Structure 1
Amino acid sequence: MHRYSPSGAVPIAGGLMTVAGGLFAAAAMAFVYAFIIRWIPFIYLNFLATLGFGMGMGIVITMLASMGKIRSPLFVRFTWLLTLLFGYYVYWGMTMWAHGAWQLGLQVFMPRAVIMFAGYLFENGSWGLKNGDPVTSWFLVAFWVVEFGVLAYFSYIMAVANIDQPFCEQCNEWTETEKGVALYHATGLEPEWDKIRLGEFQSLVQLPLLSASLSEYVRMDVNACPKCTNSNFLSIQKVKTAIDKDGDESTKESALIANMTLSGDQLAQVRLLVDQAADAAAEAAAARTLELEEAEKAQQAAADDGNGFPPIKVE
């Protein structure tokens, strides 16, 4: 099985746009985040602000990397790390402004000023819990570590969200994703998937299509270039949904096949097999419906014959 491998190309203009845009967005969000943390004394809202700051940085990176046609996962990760560290550092400087140190101007961003401010908070704190006592010392440091961890995690998962999106080098275009080309009543453990990995696509007809809503199934996705027929990729995802006690649904996906390279003829074959399976399933469903209707009519006729009235004799 041949699968897509990014070329690692980083266009100069796209790379500069991604880095500069990421840093600028991080600085702007750090300003807002610092004042939210300082002046909104609700831990729940503070946590949401932390999530927003982290996810915001990641979303900006993935959007700019896509616009700039960055095909290097390493460069995207480097930009993410640079943006994260820059944004968090700017946040510390902005926090001094939020505490009223406007007169210091841009000096708040000097490393010495940041270190002194951190030492001040370590000794005196700036916010407290329910009892009103300020959080200080290593307990406060633990909060800082958790905060940075949340920012790092959520910014990362957003920054690399599209890192595996195939790119058509011939047309200089991202491929377009078509999710749910087919849904299968399967667990992902069926031997047919191994055959499909070897290019035996005829095995698809041996897998039943999904006919009802299930918590576990297999989904087929296709990526194809919008301008040519030479960049086609097949992905198979095992999907599992769960509903928690509050009624919220969560979905977990795991790849059985990721961006398997297809020729134009192979993609056409896959689509034809899916269509044939769908037609066969529709015919089988129609036959079952007709069979049930005939059985119901026969049952009704039998009930009418046994209603106690003698049959009418016609001479």
Structure 2
Amino acid sequence: MSNYYKPSGKFSPLAFLYFVLACVIVFPILSAIYAYATWYIPLIYINVLITIGFGFGICFIVSYLIINLGKVRSYGLAILLAILSGLVAYYLQWVVWSDLAINGTESYGNKQIGIVVSNVQFEQLLYLLSHPSALLDLIKLINENGTWGIKGNTISGGFLTAIWVAEFAIIMFFSVLSAKRARLPFDEQIQEWFKEENLPIFSFIENEADFKKKVEQGDWEQLSETIQRGDEGENHSTFTVYASGSEYYLSVSNAKRKESKKDKIEFDIHKIIEYLHIDKTVYDMLRAKA
């Protein structure tokens, strides 16, 4: 029998209700905000950040509304719901953005940068929402003619398509990322997620293979002497414990320092163990060292 936590694959039927509520209420609002932001901020670098924010917003909604409250312990179902959520949110932002494109009025700015004042029309939104083929035709038309440019050059055709593909990839990456929550330890008896606690920084684990072998064998008496508090600015390890009743799990990662181009401290993270079952003695020992 494995000492690692394995999700049961179960879920609450409420997960589908939360998914529907997100698609009907939350995603339309989030997508509208995103569409307006990208329409009125014609700066490509800022738009990248806005897209990342949009993707993170979808990730948060799927992770904490659908998977968490829906108690989804099936990673496959979580992936499916995450992908569908990303596609729904992406489609909705196209509905709003395309409607903004066909309702533009006055333009302000110069050859370098400018904006076109616009606002959506509710009837058109409903039509585009319910007629995907009409929306696709409109997108093709926008792609051929373009709606914005860089340094006086209108962006259209293949280059604009590449930008849209990159935008879609970012959004779907963050959407799928949300499915990781389904793999977290869940107490099937009380129907609640384990309480997660990130312990203070510990010293760097030099021999990861040896450490993993010993923790899997339960040789904590020897390991306890090597586990010491570390410096978060240097190479270190992170310990995360999960507790529910008398059940405990542990995840450990190494963080190796690297120098970025802008002289900022960054770390390469490598997982050593993830969701390993431990007893209360080990749990208390690790918290005492923290």
TM-score where L is the length of structure 2: 0.83
Partner of 2:210: 191
Partner of 2:109: none
Is 1:96 matched with 2:98?
Answer: yes
For 1:190 and 1:71, how far apart are their aligned partners in 2?
Answer: 29
Q: How does 1:225-264 map to 2 (within 5 A)?
A: 225=244, 228-229=245-246, 231-262=247-278
Structure 1 116/33 Cα, relative in aligned 2: closer, same or farther at 3 Å? same
Any idea what SS the aligned residue of 1:163 has? Answer: helix
Is contact 1:186-1:217 (8 Å) kept? yes
Structure 2: which amino acid aligns with 1:111? P
Structure 1: which amino acid aligns with 2:18? M
Show CA shifts across 1:274-306 (max 9, x none): 74xx59xxxxxxxxxxxxxxxxxxxxxxxxxxx
Structure 1: which amino acid aligns with 2:95? G
For 2:138 and 2:83, how far apart are their aligned partners in 1?
Answer: 24
Is contact 1:223-1:232 (8 Å) kept? yes
Partner of 2:32: 31
Any idea what SS the aligned residue of 1:258 has? Answer: strand
Structure 2: which amino acid aligns with 1:271? D
Partner of 1:127: 148
Structure 2: which amino acid aligns with 1:191? D
CA positional deviation for 1:6: 0.7
Indicate the structure with greater strand content.
2
Aligned counterpart in structure 1 of residue 284 of structure 2, from 271, 286, 297 = 271
Show CA shifts across 1:44-73 (max 9, x none): 222221111111111101011212222121
Indicate the larger mover: 244-253 or 231-240.
244-253
Any idea what SS the aligned residue of 2:31 has? Answer: helix
Is contact 2:95-2:125 (8 Å) kept? no
The two structures, once aligned, show a CA RMSD in angstroms of: 2.5
Is contact 2:201-2:230 (8 Å) kept? no
Is contact 1:123-1:136 (8 Å) kept? yes
Aligned counterpart in structure 1 of residue 160 of structure 2, from 140, 143, 148 = 140
Is 1:20 matched with 2:28?
Answer: no
Any idea what SS the aligned residue of 1:239 has? Answer: strand
Structure 1 232/270 Cα, relative in aligned 2: closer, same or farther at 3 Å? closer
CA positional deviation for 1:120: 0.9
Partner of 2:184: 165
Is 1:74 matched with 2:93?
Answer: no
Show CA shifts across 1:97-133 (max 9, x none): 2121736341122122112112211221111111x12
Is contact 1:182-1:274 (8 Å) kept? no
Structure 1 221/181 Cα, relative in aligned 2: closer, same or farther at 3 Å? farther
Q: How does 1:171-210 map to 2 (within 5 A)?
A: 171-180=190-199, 183-189=202-208, 191-210=210-229
For 2:77 and 2:90, how far apart are their aligned partners in 1?
Answer: 20
Show CA shifts across 1:8-66 (max 9, x none): 11111233213432553222211122222222222222222111111111110101121
Any idea what SS the aligned residue of 1:160 has? Answer: helix
> 5+ residue gaps in structure 2?
104-119
Is contact 1:238-1:256 (8 Å) kept? yes
TM-score where L is the length of structure 1: 0.77
Is contact 1:57-1:84 (8 Å) kept? yes
Indicate the larger mover: 162-171 or 207-216.
207-216
Structure 1: which amino acid aligns with 2:169? G
For 1:129 and 1:154, how far apart are their aligned partners in 2?
Answer: 27
Is 1:224 matched with 2:243?
Answer: yes
Larger radius of gyration: 1
Any idea what SS the aligned residue of 2:25 has? Answer: helix
Asked which structure has the greater RCO (Cα within 8 Å, sep 6+), the reply is 2
For 1:117 and 1:28, how far apart are their aligned partners in 2?
Answer: 22
Structure 1: which amino acid aligns with 2:164? W
Structure 2: which amino acid aligns with 1:166? P
Number of residue equivalences? 269
For 1:4 and 1:23, how far apart are their aligned partners in 2?
Answer: 35
Is contact 1:239-1:252 (8 Å) kept? yes
Partner of 1:283: none
Any idea what SS the aligned residue of 2:29 has? Answer: helix
Partner of 1:86: 88
CA positional deviation for 1:83: 1.0
